[in-house]
Amino acid sequence: MTGRNVIPLEAIKIACQNCSLSALCLPMALTPEDVIRLDSIIKRNRPLHRGDHLYSEGEPFEKLRVVTTGSVKTYSTCDDGSERILGFHLPGELIGLDAIESNHHRCSAKALETTLVCDIPFDQLEKLSHQIPSLQHQLYRLLSREIGHETEILMLLGKKGADERLATFLISLSERFKSRGFSATDFFLSMSRYDIGNYLGLAVETISRIFTRFQEVGLIQVERKHVQLLNLALLKEMADGNHHKSRSHRGCQSK
Amino acid sequence: MTGRNVIPLEAIKIACQNCSLSALCLPMALTPEDVIRLDSIIKRNRPLHRGDHLYSEGEPFEKLRVVTTGSVKTYSTCDDGSERILGFHLPGELIGLDAIESNHHRCSAKALETTLVCDIPFDQLEKLSHQIPSLQHQLYRLLSREIGHETEILMLLGKKGADERLATFLISLSERFKSRGFSATDFFLSMSRYDIGNYLGLAVETISRIFTRFQEVGLIQVERKHVQLLNLALLKEMADGNHHKSRSHRGCQSK
DNA sequence: AGAGTTTATTGATCTTGATCAAGTGTTTGT
DNA sequence: ACAAACACTTGATCAAGATCAATAAACTCT
């Protein structure tokens, strides 16, 4: 709206698309000039292969990352050497926000498949945000959103049974794919069953059994990594636990 | 260091203490003038009683809160009407950061006992942060810290058994009390066993039993709300699971 | 101070999901 | 192409913790 329109809108769109700048600024009012400034600090990288690390726990933190293509898992290593998966990250999602506080990465991140990632040097972003109030606001919002995510985790791991957990997981993937323009009902799991189990706090065997059972009931269709959600509505019900004789939600009363 | 020193350090100290301004600015380099500006937007409130709400889910978000005295629980209400406790908040701790994104509270907060709370209007804080770079940076850090907290939750609920969870909970309280100048080994639980169970994803009965067992083993001394940690070192070991025949950490392998 | 409610403890039993075990199918590397 | 490693599935058994039940103790209210 404001500012001279020397920069054609098309150029901005392309900049956004190319670099998943959109992850950073989707609901944000920026002038074309500001978009260009923002875009100019973002760096493209060469593709990563499966298993490649984006960063490791303890490394100094320099930049945020945006997954452009492919997918990434973040995990932290326990004292006993086993890993705890913290999350899976799909195209358009931002990683590294947890490292700002200490200026060191609190977890490791590795590619689950061939993956493109952009870098956003945080010091430059911070400076820029100090010049552009709406960018500052957007950063506060992004960080806040991440905090709100904790609520869901608590629900998932604290209250839900195994079926509900896996249903919730599938619905979450579905919605995230959908919001990025992919199919909400037909997609590939880039992570192993082990990873899913680890993330959901369940044993691999349990994951496998539930997949099988969900398929038997006609809820989903799984073949290897390929998943189709056949009954999204029912799956959502299951995810919320509003299904079958209102199961008592594993303990945890209150008041 | 910089700026004229018209404002005596004592005054600053008092301002900090009175209002738990410290929650906001502990590791931050501010000029005395900035401290005064920051302090000027913070508002004291009359005391809340047990059960009083600070805010409820869905309410518009206006201000962050700092617990000054007493304690608060945050919780969100499930579809089935039961509540899921998200956290307990002790003196010096900041609440409301999860509400920035949507400008609405994502959870409810209520006082667990007689509690003093200060308000920090967020729009004013945001404006101020735009004028004071170090305050902006500090806000990013505070938000980031909260995100890092999610990791601990995932560890707690995804991997740990009941004993480890309760041990972790006690250690967490202990450290938080300690960092605020209270005793690390002798304190009162302002929340009910139900609340503890709800938070840790365990049934009340389980909490009760573990308290009893921990006491029998000489790990702690509990009487009603009053807890004494008799063997902090061992309790920490338990919390990390580095205890007893290295229990296999309930499923969740990976790789 | 006493009735009623809430909070906590302890025991007995049952369920969910972990663990153990064995086998098949799928990649990966040389 | 082959072997070795890895990923997945299915079945049988086991254990941690939930649920049910019954008190007991501590607050709350008038």
Residue B208's CATH number? 1.10.10.10
pLDDT at A13: 46
Helix (H) or strand (E) holding B195: helix B193-200
Q: Are strands A116-121 and B108-111 parallel, antiparallel or unpaired?
A: unpaired
Spatial contact of B134 and B24, defined as CB atoms under 8 Å apart: no
Domain span including residue A172:
160-240
User: Residue A255: its chain B contacts at CB < 8 A?
Assistant: 83, 192, 194-195
Residue whose C-alpha is closest to residue A97's, from B97, B123, B200, B61? B97
pLDDT at A20: 53
Q: Helix or strand or coil: residue B216?
A: helix
* B101 and B187 part of one domain: no
Six token digits for residue A223: 């073949």
**Chain A touched by B136 (CB under 8 Å):** yes
Rounded Cα gap, residues A214 and A218, in angstroms: 6
Mutation pick from B140, B191, B210, B247 vs chain A, by most beta carbons of A within 10 Å, is B140
pLDDT at A17: 47
Amino acid at A15: A
Asked whether residue B111 is domain-assigned, the answer is yes
* A41 and A137 part of one domain: yes
pLDDT at A44: 86
CATH, residue B137: 2.60.120.10
Listed residues A107, A126, A148: the one ending a domain:
A148
Rounded Cα gap, residues B75 and B99, in angstroms: 13
Listed residues A148, A169, A184: the one ending a domain:
A148
Rounded Cα gap, residues B121 and B61, in angstroms: 9
* A134 and A164 part of one domain: no
pLDDT at B21: 59
**Chain A touched by B245 (CB under 8 Å):** no
**List of protein residues whose beta carbon is under 7 A from strand C:** A 50, 161-163, 201-203, 205-206, 224, 250, 255; B 192-194, 204-205, 207-209, 211-212, 222, 224-225, 248-252
Taking chain B, what is the end-to-end CA distance rounded to the nearest angstrom?
52
| Domains contained in chain B, number | 2
pLDDT at B253: 56
Neighbours of A39 (CB within 10 A): 18
Q: Which residues of chain A carry a pLDDT beneath 70?
A: 1-29, 244-255
* B87 and B139 part of one domain: yes
Asked whether residue B156 is domain-assigned, the answer is no
* B116 and B217 part of one domain: no
The distance between the two most distant Cα atoms of chain A, rounded to a whole number of Å, is 62
pLDDT at A28: 64
Distances (CA, A) of B157 to A154, B121, B152, B168, B241: 8, 34, 9, 11, 13
* A166 and A116 part of one domain: no
Percent of chain A with pLDDT over 90: 70
* A125 and A170 part of one domain: no
Listed residues B91, B119, B151: the one ending a domain:
B151
Q: Which residue of A has its CA nearest to B193?
A: A254
Question: Across the interface, which of B98, B140, B151 has its CB nearest the CB of A106?
Answer: B151
Q: Helix or strand or coil: residue B88?
A: strand
pLDDT at B251: 55
Asked whether residue A2 is domain-assigned, the answer is no
Which chain B residues in 184-213 lie under 8 Å from chain A, judged by CB atoms?
Answer: 192, 194-195, 197-204, 206
Rg, chain A, Cα only: 20
pLDDT at A6: 39
* B141 and B58 part of one domain: yes
* C-alpha dihedral (A39, A41, A46, A52), degrees to nearest 10: -120
pLDDT at B38: 86
Asked whether residue B2 is domain-assigned, the answer is no
Report the side by side order of strands in the sheet with A220-223: A186-188, A226-229, A220-223
Spatial contact of A171 and A236, defined as CB atoms under 8 Å apart: yes
Asked whether residue A250 is domain-assigned, the answer is no
With the C-alpha atoms ordered A211, A212, A214, A220, is the resulting torsion angle positive or negative? Answer: positive
* A192 and A227 part of one domain: yes
Asked whether residue B246 is domain-assigned, the answer is no
DSSP assignment string, B111-138 = ESSSBEEEEEEHHHHHHHHHH-HHHHHH
Asked whether residue B248 is domain-assigned, the answer is no
Report the side by side order of strands in the sheet with A53-55: A53-55, A108-111, A72-77, A83-89
pLDDT at B249: 55
Tens digit of pLDDT at every position of chain B (255 positions): 433 334 444 444 444 444 455 665 555 667 778 888 888 889 888 889 999 999 999 999 999 999 999 999 999 998 888 899 999 999 999 999 999 999 999 999 999 999 999 999 999 999 999 999 989 999 999 999 999 999 999 999 998 999 999 999 999 999 999 998 899 999 999 999 999 999 999 999 999 999 999 999 999 999 999 999 999 999 999 998 877 544 445 555 554
Rounded Cα gap, residues B232 and B251, in angstroms: 28
* A40 and A121 part of one domain: yes
Instruction: Name the β-bridge partners of A119.
Output: A43, A65
pLDDT at A33: 82
* A127 and A188 part of one domain: no
> Model confidence over A25-35: pLDDT tens digits?
555 667 778 88
Asked whether residue A122 is domain-assigned, the answer is yes
* A114 and A236 part of one domain: no
Cβ contact, residue pair B143, A144, below 8 Å: yes
Amino acid at B246: S
Q: Which residue of B has its CA nearest to A151?
A: B86
Q: Helix or strand or coil: residue A38?
A: helix
